[in-house]
Structure 1
Amino acid sequence: MRTLCASTLIGEFFVIGFAGLVAMKSDDLSVATVWTVCGIAMVVALLLCGMITRPGGVQLGWAFQICLVASGFVVPAMFLLGILFGALWWASVHYGRVIDAAKARWAAQAAAQGAPEADAA
């Protein structure tokens, strides 16, 4: 699960950076405000990559997805991108757990058969 979720968050890191470039064209926002908010969001995306397997990590990821969708009020294209990344987040969490369960099953089967390869996986 960690690899899939971290890949989604890294993709969001780049999307937030590009959204910052778009938001800079707004007359209502200063450049400093745009890059402060985008910079914080980009750092949060990177920090969440390391927190996925910790308690509450997935829930923080969901909160981040909601914030990404809400950024559509500043950059309207982020409504669509936020929803797409929210769907990717769901798929990463869901299928990551399925893959983790399958890996655990295979490791248990290999350990039950006494295969030394179980430790290498």
Structure 2
Amino acid sequence: MAKMTKSQLAWRPGMPKKRRSTRVMFASVILTLEALAVLFAGLAMFGLRGRVEGGGVPFLIMGIVVAIALVLTCAVVGKRWGTALGWVLQVVLILMGLFEPMMFVVGALFLLSWAYAMWQGTKIDLENAARAEEQAQWEAEHPEG
């Protein structure tokens, strides 16, 4: 039998489902796409520099480590420090341009995507919270007969 989470243990019939954060979902999508881009960038740097400079392995390792960090950040992006880590990783992505200049462009585009996801996701979450509050107030004023 699988171990149940706290929320699964606390669930009772008729309980409303907790709404997932749109900002967290947007952020997770961006981070996952960035992880794929970084992984492929690491492979490209490995291939381009492996023969010329005699050692592309560090670039491959760098790409894998950053990609893993991006994916793991998806798990904590709902926390305040997780979002801050996401911003730090945006800077890391841009700094990869020091090793492969095209990453400046890729990093900047992902930074814009990340900022837009944070902005719009927060806006949508606030609208959803206000709508849920209004719905709860209406239901309190109009009990089912």
Common fold, TM-score beyond 0.5?
yes
Which residue of structure 1 lines up, in the alignment, with residue 78 of structure 2? 53
Partners of 1:59 and 1:2 lie apart in 2 by: 13
1:119 corresponds to which residue? Answer: none
Aligned counterparts of 1:30 and 1:89: Cα–Cα separation in 2? 32
Please give the per-residue CA displacement for 1:36-83, whole angstroms capped at 9, x wherever unaligned: 211111110011111111121111111100010010011111000000
Greater relative contact order (CA < 8 Å, ≥ 6 in sequence): 1
Q: Distance in 2 between matches of 1:5 and 1:28?
A: 36
Aligned letter for 2:33? G
**Pairwise CA distance, 1:30:** 2.4
Matched with 1:8 is 30
* TM-score normalised by structure 2 residue count: 0.75
Which runs of 5 or more residues in structure 1 are unaligned? 116-121
1:30 counterpart = 2:55: yes
Match for residue 103 of structure 1? 128
1-structure distance, mates of 2:42, 2:121:
30
Displacement of 1:84 = 0.3
How much has 1:29 moved relative to structure 2?
A: 6.3
C-alpha separation in 2, matches of 1:41 and 1:29: 22
Corresponding position of 1:83: 108
**More helix by percentage:** 1
- TM-score (ref. length: structure 1): 0.89
Which structure: larger Rg? 2
Aligned residue identity for 2:37: V
% identical aligned pairs = 25
Which of 88, 91, 111 is the matching residue for 1:66?
Answer: 91
Count how many residue pairs are aligned between Structure 1 and Structure 2: 115
What is the alpha-carbon root mean square deviation over aligned residues? 1.4
Q: Does 1:18 align with 2:43?
A: no
SS in 2 for 1:50: coil
Q: How much does 1:90 deviate?
A: 0.3
Distance 1:51 1:32 in 2: 29
Structure 2 stretches of 5 or more lacking a match?
1-22, 141-145
Secondary structure in structure 1 of the residue aligned to 2:75: helix
